[in-house]
Structure 1
């Protein structure tokens, strides 16, 4: 086997266990990291492991639901599911109140499962369900530190506004490029997000003004998918900075 073929085999094995959705990591980490600003606890480590491995388990479970090929994905689902379950033991043992978030996750996962079974996993409703789950982490993080979960509500709202806006915006850049209807929805949502974030924290109008500008202007350019993803990662870091500074300024 040549070195090139070995690299190819290694990449195929890697893709078998790591989803080819690089932009999703910003969605998963932004609310979690933003929620850490209210207080830190060693329990945030198992929380992160539970969250990331749980998402990976759900990803492969949804693939099995979509394709009806459980035998193909059971190893990934089982491995990530076990890791998530084990990491969750100290969380629920020491912070049983976190279980109150379980019904919300169950409903949102049901939306994901229905969309996957119908072959509509790229639908906006499914994307909104996913970003809503991610945004809940901004409230779960302070609760994990033994604080009131309500501390994270403003951060969760701001994160949701950005992530939900990204669902609409990315469609105008890739799958629905050139669609006037999708473009109007994206720009209108971002304009409304500015007004909404003013009620959360006026400082957030700065990054959200940029998010509106990019939603209005960038669809006019033909950008490659990696570039679109890189811009969104940078935007996530920008918002994370503002979500931290706005509450402590």
Structure 2
């Protein structure tokens, strides 16, 4: 694993998402959806359908069903866990560093039975050993500063033979340029991460058997192409100056993110592993 120029703390990450949650909900998506999509092709621009497809692919690869007890680490606004509970009938909990996002997730879940959300750290999970059949995550674990510790915690709260299924952002190469550092890493308080192969080694070191490791670079490129285009279009019809500036800045970052992907400075992968 390699780091960029700045090492962020869990407090840095939690504070950033606390401070930006309401802005994001107001300017972008009122239900808090912003996960990488799995697109059907280069001409597919239906972001919400692609984001839902990612969730369904991960659920299928993990074997989640009515008897599953699922922990969503870095649950954000709760969309993934709520989707799993609604579509597959599982029960579960969501855990996130951002108190603001946890509060939103609780409101979004309403009175759905069998799911709950907690404010807490992936490196100090408030659960007993062997509590869950599955641990899942979408595009969140890259933000954990102490990644080996979070992997150990996932292993601990899983039952023997339990499944760890997640998508995450990758740092394919050691050297990161200033543009990528600004628009990809520092923008979300990310200190640095693993390559696809490096991630597999880290999981094996934590006691997992790798079942699936897939590079999905094309899908993350398409995600940010679609999001950037959508942000520009919304900015053109938005009367609020602050909202317009936020959308245009986000659109600019989406373009820089695509360039970083092309330079091998940013990537995306999906992993499924089993606790030995």
TM-score range (shorter-chain normalised) is: 0.3 to 0.5
TM-score (structure 1 length as normaliser) = 0.33
Q: Which of the two has greater helix per residue? A: 1
User: Which is higher, the Rg of structure 1 or of structure 2?
Assistant: 1
TM-score (structure 2 length as normaliser) = 0.31
Q: Which of the two has greater strand per residue? A: 2
